[in-house]
Amino acid sequence: MINSVFDKQVTILNSYEPVPNDQLEVQYRNLVTAFPLDVQNLIPIHVDERTRYFRQNLGTVFLGEPTPQQAKLLQYSELLALTTILNSPTFKPTTQTPSDVARLKATAYASQYVTIRANELLGQSQLPEPVKQAIMMRGHQYALANLTRLSLNFNLREQLSSYLKDLKNRYGQLAAITCMVATASAGAGDVMAVSELTAQIGMAVGTAVAITTETTSLTDP
């Protein structure tokens, strides 16, 4: 019985294909195109779109169709994700030219810029201060999780538990932040308590989707 239920849930997750939310996608692109050209030119717009669409879907589950201000605030987690796209915690050893090194430094500086803009976005919001601090703390944990991922880059003995913890602390954390921002901006009930609860739900779902996505990429010809 348990196995059949588990198999059914895995089938649902594997067949899930997120679609973009037009309003949230427009807000994301508006933010990116407002960056200085030096930063814009380093951003691969079409990278990691599937996970961005997933977080958009997840945010609207708790918020419904967002107002323009809510849609803008929901970009906080997307800007955090963008910092990792610009400055990935994984790499393959290669012989690098001076041009390669310069580009790596450029994307690292661009990542710093995007981090500052993300913090500005959250700081200028009308969310209660305790909620802002809780969201910011999750942002800190996400950044530290990328640092941990970098340390595991060439660890040939990485354990399954470390792998799952990495997915939870990075992909799951971004989903948790999305849910927390969505619920807090909706202002339902005890904002802090409800936001923390939905963050836990988001982390669980985000981790599950990350696992199934990576599994599919390993088996897809």
pLDDT at residue 1 in the model: 44
SS3 201: helix
Q: How many CB atoms lie within 10 A of CB 158?
A: 12
Q: What is the pTM of this model?
A: 0.88
CA proximity to 39, closest of 87, 110, 102? 110
Q: 85 vs 43, 46, 114, 159, CA distance in Å?
A: 8, 11, 11, 25
CATH of 17-215, one of 3.30.750.24, 1.10.3720.10, 1.10.600.10, 3.20.80.10: 1.10.600.10
How confident is the model at residue 12, as a pLDDT?
Answer: 47
Q: What is the mean pLDDT of each run of 10 residues along the chain (221 residues)?
A: 47 68 94 95 87 94 91 96 94 83 94 97 93 96 94 76 92 96 83 90 94 77 59
Residue 5 CB coordination number (10 Å): 9
Predicted local distance difference test score (pLDDT) of residue 8: 46
11 contacts 213 by C-beta, under 8 angstroms:
no
